[in-house]
Amino acid sequence: MASTGKAAGAGRSLSEYSEVQSSRLDVHLPLPCVLRNPFNLVDGPPSSAAGNPEEIAKLFPNLFGQPSAMLKSATTSGAAADQSLIIGVVLSGGQAPGGHNVISGIFDYLQQRTKGSTLYGFKGGPAGIMKCKYIELSEEFVYPYRNQGGFDMICSGRDKIETPEQFKQAEETAKKLDLDGLVVIGGDDSNTNACLLAENFRSKNLKTRVTGCPKTIDGDLKCKEVPTSFGFDTACKIYAEMIGNVMIDARSTGKYYHFVRLMGRAASHITLECALETHPNITIIGEEVAAKKQTLKNVTDYITEIICKRAELGYNYGVILIPEGLIDFIPEVQQLIAELNEILAHDVVDQEGTWKKKLCSQSLDLFEFLPPEIQEQLLLERDPHGNVQVARIETEKMLIQMVETELNKRKHEGKYKGQFQGQSHFFGYEGRCGLPSNFDANYCYALGYAAGALLHSGKTGLISSVGNLGAPVEEWTVGGTSLTSLMDVERRHGKFKPVIKKAMVELEGAPFKKFASLRDDWTLKNRYVNPGSVQFVGSTANAINETLILELGAQA
Amino acid sequence: MASTGKAAGAGRSLSEYSEVQSSRLDVHLPLPCVLRNPFNLVDGPPSSAAGNPEEIAKLFPNLFGQPSAMLKSATTSGAAADQSLIIGVVLSGGQAPGGHNVISGIFDYLQQRTKGSTLYGFKGGPAGIMKCKYIELSEEFVYPYRNQGGFDMICSGRDKIETPEQFKQAEETAKKLDLDGLVVIGGDDSNTNACLLAENFRSKNLKTRVTGCPKTIDGDLKCKEVPTSFGFDTACKIYAEMIGNVMIDARSTGKYYHFVRLMGRAASHITLECALETHPNITIIGEEVAAKKQTLKNVTDYITEIICKRAELGYNYGVILIPEGLIDFIPEVQQLIAELNEILAHDVVDQEGTWKKKLCSQSLDLFEFLPPEIQEQLLLERDPHGNVQVARIETEKMLIQMVETELNKRKHEGKYKGQFQGQSHFFGYEGRCGLPSNFDANYCYALGYAAGALLHSGKTGLISSVGNLGAPVEEWTVGGTSLTSLMDVERRHGKFKPVIKKAMVELEGAPFKKFASLRDDWTLKNRYVNPGSVQFVGSTANAINETLILELGAQA
């Protein structure tokens, strides 16, 4: 076996599988009809870019404008059945349920459609490509990971292939392994990187083609052709189970406000989806806070107001959802953090607080408004570059303390007679590596199988695209979307950089609008829904998430 | 309807049920054979007490020595079928999955076996008895709660019926409602209380009989006749799902040590069960720490040592389980907290720390050894009596910081070359109100049905006991165990108080011994098991928890 070093992770042993894990291994995954039979790849019209097409054209001279393509059933296959391929696959960025099924899908495509092909798994993310660390994937090696969560089959990493030297390393690996193709499974950044690789390989006349696959539990990599990123469905269902349980507890106990911070650093899709699945009393959506230019005080007051109204109805409990990225959406907090980064790079934080004089008056006010614990987190939690680590700030605890302070004030003024006890939660790591839901298992398998088909058909610079997801799997559409068509540019350090823009929560989109139409009702009445644990068999096993249903409904 | 005031909680509406919630409503619950047919109640030999029988005999002159009883199938029933009963039920203490099924079981027994009977639900725990706040339970009212988590049907409370006035109030309620019986669903304290009530009613010649039911996710109310308390199975499965997911994440990401604190304030059963279900790298069992008289430094060193060994093998990640009650098991910490309670009752905590001089030198050393955040929690988090709130101390964060400090020291000395990043979790509220597992659903229904049978047979002062739980439900045994036989006395404020001793983790018991025989293997190898989400249908839905299997196996 052409492996370098031992298997990624610690390997898996079937003898240590739980009953549920074992029961998932041999589950039959239905393929879209178009992937079951011979197919042709039909090109669409030439594509443009999501923004600044002239700049994108300059950045991708070989790929810009290429059409997206759709698979269509045919009597004989357009791709040669006797052609054997050498393909590499890499997992890039954070974990998401279903990654192993994408790999299984590629593997099975190659086994079933291209005799004698080889699939290499690059280990530990893009660094594995650069360092040529890989393992040859066999049926035996892949099997224990079928329908299982995690990325540990080949592990992932957050390195990027960016510099000329790094591109050179990737080329050398492609040449050394004689790669016909490479599948990059990742989020917006990783797919941008995939496209740069595709462009680079093409410009060097390498035969290596590159296909992307849309991964992220955050749900912020999506567009018309790519209706959702994989992992979002499972992660939200797991969080919604936990939230639903906490809700029933809140109602049964009658004395706690549960402040639940949910993973999703940039966009608030997870929080919105969980709200739609569980109907919490209060939900903060970062994009709305930003659009309304709210301050931390505004958010605190909004929560406090509802708690006071609920107390009048006799409810001294509730559940509040908060997106991880909340404070990134609040302009005044961004300003404070920017000033702190500047000051703390040069000054020592003295006990007397003379350093505070360097803050502008608005930032100083905000800093003084924050609870002492959070002040400390702002001053102490710093990354290796000395910057404040926003993700480590416990926003849920911060809000509990600020709300408590405000409630005490109102109590003192006779305006609030309730009792308040906050409980904080952060749900994140529990959802990234769960066993993929039936939807994610099927979707990922189709994405992987499609990636195989795209590479087999000679395509490069596309992202595997599976659509019509509201229909039964058999009717799903399959194709590849031109990655350059998803791109825009951002100016960084005086240069244009291509980016796939993160899909944020649209305040005019169907999911937010449904939420907005219902939230007042959820606020004072308790409309809690307990989704229960993810089921794999039976009548309740095949539901898809609310966000996707609503977005598909709005398109139809 | 003989209700006082509105329904407990906010009520439930079936239209807001999730698919999984709805799918559970009409699930057929199998009854043990002995409960399906006519039965006789067969008394065992006279009973004694768990300790100090003379004192227990004095405290329970009417009940002491009464036999436990078993239900035996008969051709005609020993209890009169035409007798209508008026029964009350109360939920006492913290939430546990399955409480609603106990009530459903009582309700169905009365409907099916005693024509024209009435079931009252006391609202908000024992306070509902004292204040005579109740609701009459109808089929319509009970239905939405069948097989659902939570206690919100009638809600629970933590009040106790202790003083002569409170007993008087309970008597008045019993008389006013003409109660033939009362079912108290609760933990060790609540069942002690149930027995005191039974004794009191008997001594006053009231007809009201009292039956207990063993409830607590903590699993610390159990004995030979009562093999497990309900809720433990479901809660552990929910936590184990979350731990399993975090494990796969740890292995996939390769850079975090997850420190997971698990609910279970007194005993470490939950932590032990979760360890047996998931195979973490490190598990701290409070009872072992106490038995070995370990210090906080010992525990820190134990964890640090393993992290260093794992780093040498290339593993800079892992999962560590910690029981909520850990610091209660460490004598030096108990001593420090006792001293702090004393000092802080009288002194102000001054910035200069002169108050520290009142600590004994061992306590001062320990205090200085603690991370600043924890020092602050010890000084600031106080209950209304001014005492340190041990449950609010974030032990998992404390250990992360102490381990980090120790690792930095070793790194400096060249003894550790790894990377350490801790992630903290507290799993508690997510598990108390989940949808009951099939085991808990069946077990609770049988417990409730049995409680109905015991009261119908004229018994008082027994705890509903369902046994042979390793066999199919049909073969489960059913009876009632004399509550006084579970009791010992404790001296409090110069008086003997009856107590049902909490069942702690037995270091000689089968579950701990199995854990102890395997943990070294789990430490350096990664034997992670991912139990997945609780399944309600299919081949994986009926497993029972490891603790119970092992304890039953050891008895057999």
By Cβ distance, the residue of A9, A149, A251 closest to B245 is: A149
A56-60, A285-289, A390-394, B103-107: the lowest-pLDDT one: A390-394
Q: Cβ of A535 and B20 within 8 Å?
A: yes
The answer on pLDDT for A8 being more than 70 is no
Q: What is the pLDDT of residue A4?
A: 36
Residue A22 domain-assigned (yes or no): no
d(CA B63, CA B67): 9
Preferred mutation among A17, A20, A380, A423 to probe B, highest tally of B CBs within 10 A: A20
What is the least distance, in Å, from the CA of A168 to any CA of chain B? 27
Q: Cβ of A529 and B16 within 8 Å?
A: yes
Q: Does residue B412 share a domain with residue B484?
A: no
Dihedral of CA atoms B297, B303, B304, B310 in degrees, nearest 10, equals 170
Scanning the structure block, which residue is given the tokens 């998803």?
A486
What is the least distance, in Å, from the CA of B492 to any CA of chain A? 29
Query: In terms of C-beta distances under 8 Å and separation of at least 24 residues, what long-range contacts does A511-518 make, across chains too?
Result: A511/A272, A511/A273, A511/A276, A511/A546, A511/A547, A511/A550, A511/A551, A512/A272, A512/A285, A512/A287, A512/A288, A514/A276, A514/A546, A514/A550, A515/A272, A515/A275, A515/A276, A515/A283, A515/A285, A518/A279
Look up the domain containing B261 and give its range.
Answer: 232-433+507-552
Q: Does residue A274 share a domain with residue A398?
A: yes
Q: What is the pLDDT of residue A349?
A: 72
> pLDDT grade, residue A108 (50/70/90)?
very high
Q: Does residue B390 share a domain with residue B368?
A: yes
Residue A353 domain-assigned (yes or no): yes
Q: Cβ of B16 and A242 within 8 Å?
A: no
The answer on pLDDT for B4 being more than 70 is no
> pLDDT grade, residue A5 (50/70/90)?
very low
Given a contact cutoff of 8 angstroms between Cβ atoms, the answer to whether B406 and B304 are in contact is: yes
Q: What residues in B contact A249, CB-CB < 8 Å?
A: 95, 150, 429, 432-433
Q: Does A10 touch chain B (CB under 8 A)?
A: yes
Q: Cβ of A24 and B315 within 8 Å?
A: no
Q: Does residue A345 share a domain with residue A458?
A: no
By Cβ distance, the residue of A252, A277, A279 closest to B150 is: A252
Higher-confidence position of A369 and A201: A201
By Cβ distance, the residue of B156, B245, B425 closest to A252 is: B156
Q: What is the pLDDT of residue B382?
A: 73
Q: Does residue B251 share a domain with residue B223?
A: no
Number of domains comprising chain A: 2
Positions of B marked active-site: 218
The answer on pLDDT for A12 being more than 80 is yes
Q: How far is CA B512 from the centre of its chain?
A: 18
The encoded tokens of residue B315 equal: 């593993």
Given a contact cutoff of 8 angstroms between Cβ atoms, the answer to whether B425 and B395 are in contact is: no
Mean pLDDT of B118-128: 97
Q: What residues in A contact B540, CB-CB < 8 Å?
A: 19-20, 23
Residue B499 domain-assigned (yes or no): no
Q: Cβ of A149 and B530 within 8 Å?
A: yes
Higher-confidence position of A87 and A346: A87
Given a contact cutoff of 8 angstroms between Cβ atoms, the answer to whether A536 and B241 are in contact is: no
> pLDDT grade, residue B373 (50/70/90)?
confident
Q: Cβ of B10 and A525 within 8 Å?
A: yes
d(CA A315, CA A256): 10
Q: Cβ of B20 and A540 within 8 Å?
A: yes
Return the bridge partners of A137, or none.
Answer: none
Residue B12 domain-assigned (yes or no): no
Q: Please give the mean pLDDT across all residues of chain B.
A: 93
Q: Does B15 touch chain A (CB under 8 A)?
A: no
By Cβ distance, the residue of A19, A244, A538 closest to B543 is: A19
Q: Does residue A481 share a domain with residue A370?
A: no
Q: What is the pLDDT of residue B541?
A: 94
The answer on pLDDT for A385 being more than 80 is no
**CATH classification at residue B266:** 3.40.50.460
d(CA B288, CA A113): 58
The answer on pLDDT for A9 being more than 50 is no
Q: Does residue B245 share a domain with residue B120?
A: no
> pLDDT grade, residue B342 (50/70/90)?
confident
Q: Does residue A519 share a domain with residue A376?
A: yes
Q: What is the pLDDT of residues B143-181, one digit of tens each?
A: 999 999 999 999 999 999 999 999 999 999 999 999 999
Q: What is the pLDDT of residue B376?
A: 83
Q: Does A147 touch chain B (CB under 8 A)?
A: no
The answer on pLDDT for B1 being more than 80 is no
Q: What is the pLDDT of residue B8?
A: 38
> pLDDT grade, residue A212 (50/70/90)?
very high
Q: Does residue B45 share a domain with residue B120?
A: yes
Mean pLDDT of B204-215: 98
Q: What is the pLDDT of residue B346?
A: 75
Q: Does A512 touch chain B (CB under 8 A)?
A: no
Scanning the structure block, which residue is given the tokens 């306070």?
B127
Q: 3-state SS string over A201-250? A: HHHCCCCCEEEEEEECCCCCCCCCCCCCCECHHHHHHHHHHHHHHHHHHH
A514-523, B82-91, B259-268, B391-400: the lowest-pLDDT one: B391-400
Positions of A marked active-site: 218
What is the least distance, in Å, from the CA of B470 to any CA of chain A? 17
Q: Does B20 touch chain A (CB under 8 A)?
A: yes
Please report, rounded to a whole number, the percentage of residues in chain A having pLDDT higher than 90.
Answer: 83
Scanning the structure block, which residue is given the tokens 């029981």?
B323
Q: Does residue B264 share a domain with residue B363?
A: yes
Between positions 303 and 342 of B, the ones with CB within 8 A of A are 315
Q: Cβ of B10 and A526 within 8 Å?
A: yes
d(CA A405, CA A412): 11
Sign of CA dihedral A411, A416, A421, A423: negative
d(CA B88, CA A389): 55
Q: H-helix or E-strand containing B118? A: strand B118-122
Q: Please give the mean pLDDT across all residues of chain A.
A: 93
Q: Does residue A263 share a domain with residue A208?
A: no
d(CA B289, CA B282): 13
Q: Does B258 touch chain A (CB under 8 A)?
A: yes
Q: Cβ of B150 and A251 within 8 Å?
A: yes
Scanning the structure block, which residue is given the tokens 């192993």?
A100
Q: What is the pLDDT of residue A151?
A: 97
Write the single-letter amino acid at B452.
G
Q: What is the pLDDT of residues A401-457, one digit of tens each?
A: 999 999 999 999 999 999 999 999 999 999 999 999 999 999 999 999 999 999 999
Q: Where does a domain end: B444, B469, B492?
A: B492
Q: Cβ of A433 and B10 within 8 Å?
A: no
Through-space distance between the first and last CA atoms of chain A, rounded to whole angstroms: 49
Q: What is the pLDDT of residue A245?
A: 98
Q: Does B537 touch chain A (CB under 8 A)?
A: yes
Between positions 79 and 138 of B, the ones with CB within 8 A of A are 95, 124
Q: Could you give the residue ranges of the DSSP H alpha helices within B19-163?
A: 19-25, 33-36, 53-59, 99-113, 126-130, 139-142
Mean pLDDT of B63-89: 90
Q: Does residue B341 share a domain with residue B325?
A: yes
Q: What is the pLDDT of residue A353?
A: 78
The encoded tokens of residue A240 equal: 């919604």
Q: Could you give the residue ranges of the DSSP H alpha helices within A347-385?
A: 361-369, 372-380
**CATH classification at residue A71:** 3.40.50.450
Q: What is the pLDDT of residue B223?
A: 94
* Contacts across the A-B interface (CB distance below 8 Å): 197
Mean pLDDT of B530-549: 94
What is the least distance, in Å, from the CA of B51 to any CA of chain A? 34
Q: Does B422 touch chain A (CB under 8 A)?
A: no
Between positions 174 and 233 of A, the ones with CB within 8 A of B are none
Preferred mutation among B13, B17, B18 to probe A, highest tally of A CBs within 10 A: B18
- Collect all residues with Cβ–Cβ distance below 8 Å to A146 and sequence separation of at least 6: A24, A25, A26, A27, A100, A101, A104
Q: What is the pLDDT of residue A555?
A: 77
